Structure 1
Amino acid sequence: MSGRRPALLALAGVASARAALAGAAALTDRPAGAPWRRTNYAGRPVSLLGGPALAFSATAGAVLGAPPGTRAAAALVGAVSGLVGGYDDLAGARPEQARDKGLAGHLRALREGRVSAGAVKVTGIGAAAAAAAFLTRGPGRGSAALVDGVLTTGLVAGTANLLNLLDLRPGRAAKAGAIAAVAGLGGPAGGLVAGPLGATLAVLPEDLGERIMLGDCGANALGALLGLRLAGAHSRGARAGALAAITALTLASERISFTRVIEATPGLRDLDRLGRRSS
């Protein structure tokens, strides 16, 4: 892919995200924006409407830049992950859902005969990831095709979830997403993440300024698209290694605080705090 096309796709992502953010800002103080208002970790009011703005612009940019055989999958995983993530943002804020966080919380809710908003989200993203694996399947058959399908499903769903786990401080998930997108720009499939990169950079100042949060909607949609790019790697070993790392980090998050680890690691701490307001 020529150097000019990714730049144009990124600029289109920036323009789309800025327009979507303008629409979100117009809704924030109106009654329609009330369900999306939250108080962040520092006690400041923020709006989760930045999430739909990012989800829409990142998905549109991914579809525009994806290789022909991947466009339908990009549209599907971006749209579905954003929709079910938005559902979790809204329904998950209800008092009865307060304990239903993380894998343990979702399983506890099921044992109690309830379906948590998070479980709905996980199911939706998993189904979209599996459908994306079917849509992007290669010509092979048998066990190799099955392995490729499992890897694609796991990478899309796992990256969607992992990026959402990072959305605990302003700009953290967006920075991680932007770094991953830059890393994925090379090769014929790099256009898939050029638009999402531009969209992410466009919302980052609002995120760092604590005016918006990505929420499940934005983080899940962006993560799913990044996972689809990972699934496009030619080496099956590289895909398996990436999935193993994502799975390990996800399982670790059930017992280890990412924030505590980041704060204790000088390089990560500096990157995490870069551009943020003081608490």
Structure 2
Amino acid sequence: MSGGPAGNRLALAAGGALAARAGLAAAAALTARPAGAPWRRSNYAGRPVTLLGGPALALAATTTAALGAAPGTAAAAALVGTVSGVVGGYDDLAGARPEQARDKGLAGHLRALRAGRVSAGAVKVAGIGAAAVAAAVLTRRPGSSGGTALADGVLTTGLVAGTANLLNLLDLRPGRAGKVAAALAAGTLRGPAGALSAGPLGATLAVLPADLGERVMLGDSGANAVGALLGLRLAALPSRPARTALLGGVVALTLASEKVSFTRVIEATPGLRELDRLGRRAP
């Protein structure tokens, strides 16, 4: 692409938005057909929504992230976005089965394994984890070796898998995960690897009105894919202490989610409550 870094990132964001809008149109057409029935859900307010917005977002964000990434990182972006979107979609469908109703969160997946069952969520965790490890290998920093290479690999793996999971944990109210993803993508546009965030930013913003309007949900497919891509962008930050701090924050929030309701905390916190409700329909 031509036009300098700013022009390239604008073009990638526009491309992500156009691709996502096309995906939403396809999702709307499929939702009305019998093939769309497995993706239909009732949201927290009992309104009918479709999870097909997730695959639409995952495909648009992954394609444009790979186009904007450096050659070595492009393969990693394509891998983590695709795998996260696919296994997230599997969890969206298989995880809705009655026998998997209790297999939620880390405790639920472990409980299922102890009972001799492999939950859909455990399949998703394994898939995203494997893709994150592969991404760490694909994006190994030049000149790193020994303990330094290992530390960078752990940080990349943790940020990709952890951010994918954390964004999914936020997808409990309309627009919540999308707002966080858009803010994170916008905040990481600068720097040599910033173009990786541009496509996901455009795609997320394009899907956000339908999400806030309670016509679609991102589901595991959309939230995991965008989260993994943004985690890969965070892993490209040059400062190892910054990456370490970010991973620590992701881990802390993930562990907290096992004990504390994010929705309850947000509703009880002025400022966060208003941001969370911004653009949403009245309950």
Paired residue for 1:240?
244
CA distance in 1, matches of 2:5, 2:269: 37
CA distance in 2, matches of 1:155, 1:48: 25
Paired residue for 2:255?
251
Letter of the 1:209 partner, please give it.
G
1:84 counterpart = 2:87:
yes
Equivalence map 1:55-204=2 (5 Å): 55-139=58-142, 140-204=144-208
| CA shift for structure 1 position 104 | 0.3
Task: Give TM-score, length-normalised by structure 2.
Answer: 0.98
Letter of the 1:222 partner, please give it.
V
CA distance in 2, matches of 1:193, 1:61: 9
- 1:115-152 Cα shifts (integer Å, max 9, x gaps): 00000000000000000000000231100000000000
CA distance in 1, matches of 2:107, 2:263: 19
CA distance in 2, matches of 1:5, 1:271: 30
Q: State which of 11, 15, 19 in structure 2 corresponds to 1:12.
A: 15
Q: How many residues matched?
A: 279
Letter of the 2:103 partner, please give it.
D
CA distance in 1, matches of 2:26, 2:46: 25
| CA shift for structure 1 position 5 | 1.5
Q: State which of 230, 234, 250 in structure 2 corresponds to 1:226.
A: 230
User: Secondary structure of the equivalent of 2:18?
Assistant: helix
Letter of the 1:74 partner, please give it.
A
| CA shift for structure 1 position 2 | 2.5
| CA shift for structure 1 position 8 | 1.0
Paired residue for 1:41?
44
Segments of 4+ moved more than 3 angstroms: none
| CA shift for structure 1 position 264 | 0.8
1:29 counterpart = 2:32:
yes
Q: Which runs of 5+ in 1 are unaligned?
A: none
1:276 counterpart = 2:257:
no
User: Secondary structure of the equivalent of 1:192?
Assistant: helix
User: Secondary structure of the equivalent of 2:271?
Assistant: helix
CA distance in 2, matches of 1:276, 1:160: 23
CA distance in 2, matches of 1:200, 1:273: 17
CA distance in 1, matches of 2:49, 2:158: 32
Paired residue for 2:5?
2
Task: Give TM-score, length-normalised by structure 1.
Answer: 0.99
Letter of the 2:272 partner, please give it.
L
- 1:13-43 Cα shifts (integer Å, max 9, x gaps): 1100001111111000101100000000000
Identity of aligned residues (%): 76
CA distance in 1, matches of 2:56, 2:36: 13
| CA shift for structure 1 position 65 | 0.6
CA distance in 2, matches of 1:213, 1:2: 32
Paired residue for 2:215?
211
| CA shift for structure 1 position 58 | 0.3
Q: Which runs of 5+ in 2 are unaligned?
A: none
User: Secondary structure of the equivalent of 1:170?
Assistant: coil
| CA shift for structure 1 position 107 | 0.3
User: Secondary structure of the equivalent of 2:161?
Assistant: helix
| CA shift for structure 1 position 95 | 0.3
CA distance in 1, matches of 2:5, 2:171: 33
